[in-house]
Amino acid sequence: MKRSLRHFVRSRLHRRIFVWFGASIFVTGVTVLLAMSAMGPSGPARAWSDGTRAFVADRFERTWDRPAEVEALAAELRRDFGVSVAVLGAGGEERLLAGARCVRPVLGVPIVREGRAIGAVELCHDRPPPGSFARLALVLGVAGLVLWGASGAIARRLARPLAELARVAGEIGAGRTSSRVRFGCHDRHVAGEVAVLAAAMNDMAERIERQLADQRELLAAVSHEIRTPLSRIRLLVELARDGAATGKMLDDLDGEVVEIDALVGELLASSRLDFSALTAADLDAGDVARRALDRAGLDPDLLRAPEGRVPLRADPTLLARALANLIDNAAKYGGGAGALRVAVRAGAVAFEVEDRGAGLDAGEEERVFQPFYRRAKSPRDGALPAEDRGSLGLGLALVRRIAEAHGGRAYARNREGGGACVGFEIATAPVDGAG
């Protein structure tokens, strides 16, 4: 497919443009010749013909009755103008012929005396005169060849950028997403539309390459993260087989299963965002926040929300997942949630979880939203268990993606008096593409 596409663009398109240019030049030349032939002599040629006609008519009328002078005049015309001269009588009979017999006279001059035709003189060329049809055809032919050669260069210049676009499209289709459209020094000033298309294709290739790299990185990280609970499950199963099963062991086993289930749930939510599978519904922000606290088993008094209904339109499943991740993040790394705030801002509704921890290190305000970001050891960690100092998982990264899918943003900052505030905003307008 790739080879045939490039062959079509580089060969067939080039050849077709070249042939159509040549056909257009040929038709134009033939049309000009036919038009000039139908119109007759041009201005200078017509003036020459009229002057010659008057001269011949006057001279022959004055000498018509003196055959010797008529013969001398015909010989003089043949010598000076290089034409054959046929003198005809009143009835059309030939009286005198100087030169070759005329087959197609170029000039016929009636000889008139006192309003009565007394004869005629016909002139014809022995060879094509300057500016004849053949000479004009030759000039037009040479000009046509020059223009056709120029059309070949134009066709090649037009087809070369398109061939480059076809090459990159074929390579991207074959999986080489690092391929980019690159024009040579002769193609830098290509047509604006082609340049815009090239820029759009390069941008598309860059996005695809980055997305595939992110997916590979995510797959590797998920594989690494899921191996830890699986290893613990295998160890607990082996201990249970040896008869050492206890209630705590079963609780630990259940906890590992819950951890895997949570990770799979986050991956499913991420895949919904990848396919833009949002299902928007009219919600009340305060009610959504209360249910999030209830599912997390927290005191509903932790909610700080405005009085009355706070309407918004969002995907209820994804919004619940984002709030659960904020609360879970505060429980694991911030000493627990101290408050869940709902705030109404210009064109947006904000959800914020305030924790009871030591806060974020400098620069972590953005890094905590990276998938599987691992924190370095910090004095702020305090008594945080070693197993909880590492990966922040997909939680906050998924919160950011959910917020952006709803036209908002995610953010994190340290609070005055200690602790961190992590939250997100979503636009109050309907979600684009949600059904």
- Domains of the chain are 193-272 (1.10.287.130), 276-427 (3.30.565.10)
CA gap 352, 326 in Å, rounded: 8
Nearest by Cα to 341 from 239, 330, 333: 330
Per-residue pLDDT at 273: 67
Summarised one tens digit per residue, pLDDT across range 270-282 is 666 665 667 888 9
Per-residue pLDDT at 185: 53
Q: What 8-state DSSP symbol labels residue 324? A: H
Phi, psi of 341 (to 5 degrees): -105, 140
Task: Tell whether the torsion through CA atoms of 37, 40, 41 and 42 is positive or negative.
Answer: negative
Collapsing DSSP to helix, strand or coil, 176 comes out as coil
Summarised one tens digit per residue, pLDDT across range 294-352 is 999 999 999 999 988 999 999 888 899 899 989 988 988 888 999 999 999 888 999 99
Summarised one tens digit per residue, pLDDT across range 222-250 is 676 677 778 888 888 887 777 766 777 77
Summarised one tens digit per residue, pLDDT across range 2-51 is 455 444 445 565 676 667 777 777 777 777 766 666 555 554 445 556 77
Kindly indicate the confidence band of residue 206, based on its pLDDT and cuts at 50, 70 and 90. Answer: confident
Query: How large is the average pLDDT for residues 149-163?
Result: 74
Collapsing DSSP to helix, strand or coil, 53 comes out as helix
